[in-house]
């Protein structure tokens, strides 16, 4: 009997409903978000594929070192989401602009600092469910990322810190998330 179950899981799983995604909404400014991002360590970052012209003006006094990080400067809401799937528990943050449109997503990895993740959520103001905008995330490429924030010529700059080696489990989970989101996964050069 077990042999049959092990070779026919697809037939059994078609009838099962997808696990429910738990969501909580928080208010967070770009300044608050960028204060916490460098503390997270490595996360899987997925930016929206919309052209930058579709975004509002970034906050004054800010620069991004890589254009794919620009959506983070438009964050006004965070939607913390979690689900227990057949691959195990997953947790991510959707960054929403002022109209509630998704502009980026950050996925928790085993290599992420879990205490910093919790501190980021604790620093945000919980709110009733924010109205979702017209635009869901149209995922661009995904990349395992470490963030850095620094002062540069009187401006605040958001960029990527030098990558560190990722664990085998972290690599496997990042690949599975990229497959589930149907996006290309780019690996940073280890520096």
pLDDT at 41 over 90: yes
- Domain limits of the chain? 22-186
According to the model, what pLDDT value does residue 140 have?
A: 77
Q: How remote is the C-alpha of 48 from its chain's centroid?
A: 11
Confidence class for position 6, pLDDT limits 50, 70, 90:
very low
3-state secondary structure labels for all residues of 110-141: CCECHHHHHHHHHHCEEECCCCCCCCCCCEEE
CA atoms within 13 A on the CB side of 80: 17
Model confidence over 56-112: pLDDT tens digits? Answer: 666 788 888 888 898 899 888 999 999 987 777 899 999 988 888 888 999 999 999
**pLDDT attached to residue 190:** 64
- Report the share of the chain in percent with pLDDT over 70: 80
pLDDT, average across residues 24-39: 92
User: At residue 11, does pLDDT exceed 50?
Assistant: no
pTM of the model: 0.82
């Amino acid at each position: 009997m077990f042999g049959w179950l092990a070779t026919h899981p697809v037939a059994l799983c078609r009838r099962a409903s997808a696990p429910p995604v738990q969501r909580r909404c928080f208010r967070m400014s770009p300044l608050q978000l960028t204060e916490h991002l460098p503390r997270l360590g490595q996360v899987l970052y997925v930016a929206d594929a919309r052209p930058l012209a579709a975004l509002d003006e970034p906050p004054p006094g800010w620069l991004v070192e890589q254009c794919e990080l620009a959506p983070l400067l438009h964050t006004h809401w965070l939607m913390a989401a979690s689900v227990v799937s057949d691959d195990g528990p997953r947790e991510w943050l959707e960054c929403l602009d002022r109209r509630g449109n998704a502009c980026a997503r950050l996925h928790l990895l085993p290599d992420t600092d879990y205490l910093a993740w919790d501190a980021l959520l604790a620093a945000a103001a919980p709110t009733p469910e924010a109205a979702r905008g017209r635009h869901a995330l149209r995922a661009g490429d995904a990349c395992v990322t470490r963030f850095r924030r620094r002062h540069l010529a009187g401006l605040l700059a958001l960029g990527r810190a030098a990558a560190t080696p990722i664990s085998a489990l972290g690599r496997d989970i990042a690949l599975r998330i990229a497959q589930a989101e149907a996006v290309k996964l780019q690996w940073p050069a280890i520096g």
